[in-house]
């Protein structure tokens, strides 16, 4: 419109203006007769397909039904012919969002605290389907130094073993570790509200001299450093990872910690975690000797009727002698599985590489009879009683025969 008026003011003809603007001459005449800006004619408001059901939707949302798929199913039964998108747009402003609570940032001194948690990571199994592993994560709160270890099971024995590996990686132990209220740490509370600690884990913590503390219930922000670290593991390391077994996965995870996670410029501290860790390491408590933590690194298992001990989905044979139901301690190291009977190591095997794998010991059934499986009894010695036997000459026996 502005250009049309400028051309007309410069003396251009209607025909030349129409050619320049690629419009008809009648259109040029119309705008010259009414130089105001054109306005679209008012339209009657279009009725929404949701309008007949608005009261029902508002009532259901107020009653706590905010899932649009559920609402769509109900509306379809009432004759609604519209789509999902307009329903979602209609429900969005009706949802009440909880107010965002402010969080006080809590800073710690070097060596004062570490935060610990498990995260779950899913992957596609080669045989089909989806499987999961647990990502044990520990982060030193001051330096943001990160340790991650992937495990099949999130039980107490695995939890304790991962702690020891993390402390070895950090080269020391912090004053305390912060946890959420998982059963691996605390089993519940008593009548007075005091925590009922997992005794095995508490014994391990006391043996190492590290204080176990709990974050506030339903407040994951109170251990936000490890929460952020788990998100970082899932977002930076896990996508696209390929591995053959758990040992291979942990080798890659350790390399990622050394070459990526702990050498990056941290967004909060604006320093590399490894540089801050060099200043934090001298104030960490020293590691105890391995014999002090050895009892906590084993898992108790029972011997089966066939002499096998099951651990982590595989079976390992125990050399004779053994008895069904006998308690055996299993200690897993890098690539090895050791069977212990008290302080005696009975057998060592390479770690199983496939589910339900059986490894048999050459002396596993040495004391069993092959026909009925009963223990083979050792022959007993026979004690002879000394008897005084009379000795006679042979002529006496010859005379008896002659008679």
- Convert the pLDDT of each residue in 243-296 to its tens digit: 988 889 999 999 999 999 999 999 889 999 999 999 999 999 999 887 777 777
Taking the CA atoms of residue 5, residue 9, residue 11 and residue 14 in that order, the dihedral angle to the nearest 10 degrees is 20
- Is position 119 within any domain? yes
Distance, in Å, from the CA atom of 366 to the CA atom of 319, rounded to the nearest integer, reads 8
Residues 133 and 176 in one domain: yes
Residues 354 and 316 in one domain: yes
Residues 122 and 230 in one domain: yes
Percentage of residues of the chain with pLDDT beyond 70: 84
282 C-beta neighbours (distance < 10 Å), count: 10
Among 268, 291, 314, the domain-final residue is 291
Q: How far is CA 374 from CA 86, 157, 364, in A?
A: 75, 34, 13
- Is position 240 within any domain? yes
Q: Given a cut of 50, is residue 3 above it in pLDDT?
A: yes
Residues 261 and 335 in one domain: no
Residues 303 and 181 in one domain: no
Distance, in Å, from the CA atom of 347 to the CA atom of 175, rounded to the nearest integer, reads 37
Among 260, 275, 291, the domain-final residue is 291
Q: So what's the pLDDT on residue 380?
A: 40
- Is position 318 within any domain? yes
Distance, in Å, from the CA atom of 201 to the CA atom of 182, rounded to the nearest integer, reads 12
In terms of C-beta distances under 8 Å and separation of at least 24 residues, what long-range contacts does 347-353 make, across chains too?
Answer: 347/316, 347/317, 347/318, 347/319, 349/316, 351/247, 351/312, 351/314, 352/312, 352/313, 352/314, 352/316, 353/245
Distance, in Å, from the CA atom of 174 to the CA atom of 69, rounded to the nearest integer, reads 49
Among 239, 261, 291, the domain-final residue is 291
Residues 127 and 271 in one domain: yes
Give the pLDDT mean for 96-123.
80
Residues 144 and 255 in one domain: yes
Residues 184 and 283 in one domain: yes
Instruction: Give 327-346 pLDDT, tens digit per residue.
Output: 888 877 667 888 888 778 88
Residues 204 and 245 in one domain: yes
**For residue 25, what are the domain limits?**
2-33
Domains in the chain: how many in total? 4
Q: Of 264, 244, 253, 236, which Cα lies nearest the Cα of 138?
A: 253
Distance, in Å, from the CA atom of 145 to the CA atom of 357, rounded to the nearest integer, reads 37
- Is position 368 within any domain? no
Give the pLDDT mean for 219-229.
78
Question: Among 68-82, 184-198, 371-385, which is the least confidently predicted range?
Answer: 371-385
Residues 268 and 166 in one domain: yes
With bands split at pLDDT 50, 70 and 90, how would you rate the model's confidence at 97? low
- Is position 277 within any domain? yes
With bands split at pLDDT 50, 70 and 90, how would you rate the model's confidence at 101? low
Q: Burial of 64 by CB count in 10 Å (0-12 exposed, 13-18 middle, 19+ buried)?
A: exposed
Strands 314-317, 327-333: pairing kind: unpaired
Distance, in Å, from the CA atom of 177 to the CA atom of 279, rounded to the nearest integer, reads 19
- Contacts of residue 195, defined as CB under 8 A and 6 or more positions apart, other chains included, come to 186, 188, 189, 214
Please give the mean pLDDT across all residues of the chain.
83
- Is position 193 within any domain? yes
With bands split at pLDDT 50, 70 and 90, how would you rate the model's confidence at 371? low
Residues 193 and 210 in one domain: yes
- Is position 351 within any domain? yes
Q: So what's the pLDDT on residue 227?
A: 92
- Is position 176 within any domain? yes
């Amino acid at each position: 419109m502005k250009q049309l008026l400028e051309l007309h003011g410069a003396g251009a003809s209607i025909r030349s203006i129409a050619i320049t603007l690629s419009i008809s001459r009648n259109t040029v005449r119309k705008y010259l007769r009414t130089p105001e800006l054109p306005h679209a004619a008012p339209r009657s408001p279009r009725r929404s397909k949701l309008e007949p059901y608005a009261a029902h939707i508002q009532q259901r949302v107020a009653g706590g039904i905010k899932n649009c798929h559920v609402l769509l199913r109900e509306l379809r039964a009432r004759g609604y012919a519209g789509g999902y998108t307009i329903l979602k747009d209609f429900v969005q402003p009706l949802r009440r969002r909880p107010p965002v609570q402010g969080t006080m940032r809590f800073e710690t001194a070097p060596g004062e605290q570490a935060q610990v948690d498990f995260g779950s990571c899913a992957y596609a199994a080669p045989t089909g389907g989806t499987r999961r592993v647990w990502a044990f994560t520990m982060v030193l709160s001051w330096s943001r130094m990160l340790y991650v270890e992937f495990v099949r099971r999130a039980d107490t024995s695995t939890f304790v073993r991962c702690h020891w590996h993390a402390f070895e990686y950090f080269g020391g132990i912090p004053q305390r570790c912060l946890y959420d209220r998982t059963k691996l740490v605390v089993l519940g509370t008593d009548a007075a509200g005091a925590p009922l600690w997992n005794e095995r884990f508490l014994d391990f913590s006391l043996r190492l001299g590290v204080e176990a503390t709990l974050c506030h219930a339903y407040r994951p922000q109170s251990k936000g450093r490890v929460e952020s670290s788990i998100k970082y593991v899932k977002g930076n390391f896990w996508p696209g990872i390929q591995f053959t077994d758990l040992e291979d996965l942990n080798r890659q995870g350790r390399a990622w910690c050394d070459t990526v996670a702990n050498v990056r410029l941290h967004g909060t501290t604006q320093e590399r975690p490894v540089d801050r860790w060099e200043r934090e390491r001298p104030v960490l408590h020293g590691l105890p000797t391995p014999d002090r933590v050895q009892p906590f690194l084993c898992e108790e298992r029972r011997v089966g009727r066939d002499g096998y001990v099951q651990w982590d989905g595989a079976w390992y044979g125990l050399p004779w002698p053994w008895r069904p139901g006998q308690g055996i301690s299993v200690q897993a190291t890098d690539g090895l599985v050791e069977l212990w009977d008290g302080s005696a190591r009975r057998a060592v095997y390479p770690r199983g590489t496939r589910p339900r794998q059986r490894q048999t010991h050459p002396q596993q059934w040495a004391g069993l009879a092959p026909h009925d499986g009963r223990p083979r009894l050792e022959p007993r010695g026979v004690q002879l009683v000394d008897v005084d036997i009379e000795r006679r000459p042979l002529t006496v026996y010859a005379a008896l025969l002659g008679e």
